[in-house]
């Protein structure tokens, strides 16, 4: 079980670094709701295709839900299966909820008797679990955010305020106001500052039913912004990652940042 | 049916008489809900509104939805399925809305009459507008029909449009 969990976490966090293949995502059952206390159910997985459960579940240990008034909201009925994690959320407030899995941790590799060791965890565990004098010890900080948004009634912005940590995308067009044929604008922040030249991969779901990914690549301009005109309605996945040296403390030498979001684009 | 005929006749006469005395712009919308041969039929939710060229809703004319409490809760749960209307207007309203919202309607032709002297047309500024009719049916489809028009009108006119699935004929009749 422990190995299984570790493996899952490693996969979930490795995704951005391997650049190829695996996609991490949160998929809400719907993004636009109305009425008194409607519910959404959310799937969380790491997969080869969008949005199918065919690899490993995404762990929910670092699930953070922000309610429309900015307070934390509680996920219910959490469960993790073979291929996916799932949870429910009751939208007790009117407005926009930000649902995110935020992973901030350390990743270490070293060598023992010619064998490569890998470790992933938080700062506290590092001291006791990683031999500090290990051969070829390489420590990397990772800051990752996987998120999606749902709105009950009138959309609002309170939950969307950037936290200033890692890569974040500020939707200049509200994330739950995406329509096919319309242009949406986004501003990308790294540690709260606009980030130019960052490439995003954008893929529409349902990849199983077509031969090519049909991904779009956009790069942020000098203001850290990019625009997308959605060709078709559907659930879309946006992903980016980058590496820098802005580490916290002295343990790590490099930092890997990643970001993935799921947005629903509705038909006209 | 007979009573219907007489009231229609009376209505016509009344309309004729009032026309002779006052200049009242009239806007009438006829929406046909088609008979569909499906195994599970639910009456559609329908929203009828007027928007500006910028797609901003300026007047909600009518919204038909399930107003009573049902097995799955109140019918407001499905209002976002009227996607465009929900986006432009619905989500900002407190349901029900006096004079705008009403129960779903059966298969057939439904005619709505509006006078410029009364809400919601009262004080509608002169300009280019689009009449939009959106229909969505539980376990069925969704359709949007648009008819552009100018307001106010200087001569009587009727503009027709037709839906392909969830809506039949839609017509807009404008009278000076």
Every domain of chain A and the residues it spans: 23-162+233-263
DSSP state, residue B100: T
Give residue A131's pLDDT band: very low, low, confident or very high (50, 70, 90): confident
Please tell me if residue A267 touches chain B, with a CB cutoff of 8 Å.
yes
Partners of residue A267 in chain B, C-beta under 8 Å? 83
> In this predicted structure, what is the pLDDT of residue A36?
78
The nearest alpha carbon in chain A to B80 belongs to A33
- CB atoms near residue A104 (< 10 Å): 15
Q: Are B131 and B147 in contact (CB under 8 A)?
A: yes
- d(CA A189, CA A243) in angstroms, rounded, equals 14
pLDDT higher at B9 or B156: B156
Give this complex's ipTM: 0.77
pLDDT at B117: 87
B133 Cα to chain A: minimum distance (Å): 13
CB contact under 8 A, B80 and A33: yes
| A179: contact with B, CB 8 A cutoff | yes
Instruction: Please tell me the distance from the alpha carbon of residue B137 to that of residue A35, in angstroms, as a whole number.
Output: 18
Which two tokens mark B13?
Answer: 């006469």
**pLDDT higher than 60, residue B105:** yes
User: Using CA atoms, how far apart are residues A40 and A51, in angstroms rounded to an integer?
Assistant: 17
Report pLDDT for B72. Answer: 62
Buried b (16+ CB within 10 A) or exposed e, A70-103: eeebebeeeebeeebbbbebebebbbbbbbbbeb
DSSP state letters, B112-147: EEEETTSTTTTTPPSEEEEEEEEEE-TTS-EEEEEE
Task: With beta carbons less than 8 A apart as the criterion, state whether B166 and B104 touch.
Answer: no
What is the nearest CA distance from A28 to chain B, expressed in angstroms?
16
Residue B7's pLDDT band (cuts 50, 70, 90): very low
Query: From CA B79, how far away is CA B77, in angstroms rounded?
Result: 6
Chosen from B47, B80, B96, B142 to mutate, greatest number of chain A CBs within 10 A: B80
In this prediction, residues B57-79 reach a mean pLDDT of: 85
Q: In whole numbers, what is the pLDDT of chain A averaged over residues? A: 90
Does A29 have pLDDT greater than 50?
Answer: yes
The verdict on a CB contact (< 8 Å) between B86 and A266 is no
Q: Chain A 13-52, CB below 8 Å of chain B: which residues?
A: 32-36, 38
Reported confidence tier of residue A1, pLDDT bands at 50, 70, 90: very low
Neighbours of A60 (CB within 10 A): 17
DSSP state of A156: -
3-state secondary structure of B21: helix
Interface of A with B in 183-222 (CB under 8 A): none
B22 pLDDT exceeds 70? no
pLDDT > 90: percent of chain B: 64
Average pLDDT over residues A82-94: 97
In chain A, beta strands by DSSP E: 23-28, 32-33, 39-47, 56-57, 63-66, 72-73, 76-80, 85-90, 95-112, 115-121, 135-152, 167-171, 178-179, 183-190, 193-194, 199-204, 216-219, 225-229, 234-244, 254-266
pLDDT for the residue B73: 61
Report residue B18's pLDDT band, with 50, 70 and 90 as the boundaries.
very low
Among A35, A36, A177, the residue with its CB nearest the CB of B87 is: A177
Closest chain B residue by Cα to residue A94: B91
pLDDT at A27 over 60: yes
> What is the DSSP-derived secondary structure letter of residue A112?
E
pLDDT at A10 over 80: no
């Amino acid at each position: 079980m422990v190995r299984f969990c570790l493996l899952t976490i490693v996969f979930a966090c490795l995704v951005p670094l391997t650049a190829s293949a695996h996609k991490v995502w949160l998929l809400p059952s719907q993004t636009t709701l109305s009425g008194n206390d409607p519910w959404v159910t959310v799937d969380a997985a790491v997969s080869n295709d969008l949005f199918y459960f065919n690899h490993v579940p995404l762990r929910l240990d670092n699930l953070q839900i922000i309610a429309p008034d900015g307070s934390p909201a509680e996920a219910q009925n959490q469960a993790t299966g073979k291929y996916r994690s799932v949870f429910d959320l009751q939208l007790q407030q009117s407005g926009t909820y930000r649902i995110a899995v935020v992973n901030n941790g350390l990743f270490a590799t070293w060598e023992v008797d010619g064998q490569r060791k890998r470790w992933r965890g938080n700062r506290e565990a590092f001291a006791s679990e990683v031999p500090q004098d290990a051969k070829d010890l390489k420590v990397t900080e990772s800051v990752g955010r996987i998120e999606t948004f749902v709105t009950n009634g009138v959309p609002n912005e309170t939950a969307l305020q950037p936290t200033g940590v890692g890569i974040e995308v500020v939707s200049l067009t509200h994330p739950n106001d995406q329509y096919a044929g319309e242009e949406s604008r986004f501003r990308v922040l790294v540690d709260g500052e606009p980030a130019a030249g960052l490439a995003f991969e954008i893929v529409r779901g349902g990849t199983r039913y077509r031969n090519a990914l049909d991904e779009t690549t956009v790069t942020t301009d000098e203001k850290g912004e990019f625009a997308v005109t959605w060709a078709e309605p559907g659930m879309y996945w946006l992903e980016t990652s980058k590496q820098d040296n802005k580490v916290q403390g002295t343990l790590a030498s490099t930092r890997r940042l990643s970001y993935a979001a799921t947005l629903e684009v509705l038909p006209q | 049916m007979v009573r219907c005929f007489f009231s229609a006749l009376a209505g016509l006469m009344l309309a004729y008489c009032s026309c002779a005395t006052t200049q009242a712009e009239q806007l009438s919308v006829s929406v046909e809900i088609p008979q569909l041969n499906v195994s599970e039929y639910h009456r559609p939710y329908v929203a009828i509104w007027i928007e500006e060229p910028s797609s901003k809703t300026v007047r909600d004319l009518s919204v038909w939805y399930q107003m009573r409490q049902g097995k799955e809760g109140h019918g407001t749960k499905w209002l976002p399925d009227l996607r465009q209307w929900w986006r432009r207007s619905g989500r900002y309203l407190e349901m029900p809305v006096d004079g705008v919202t009403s129960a779903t309607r059966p298969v057939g032709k439904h005619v709505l009459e509006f006078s410029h002297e009364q809400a919601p047309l009262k004080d509608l500024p002169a300009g280019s507008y689009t009449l939009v009719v959106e229909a969505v049916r539980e376990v069925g489809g969704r359709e949007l029909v648009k008819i552009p028009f100018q307001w106010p009108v200087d001569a009587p006119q009727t503009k027709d449009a037709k839906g392909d699935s969830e809506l039949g004929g839609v017509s807009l009749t404008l009278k000076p």
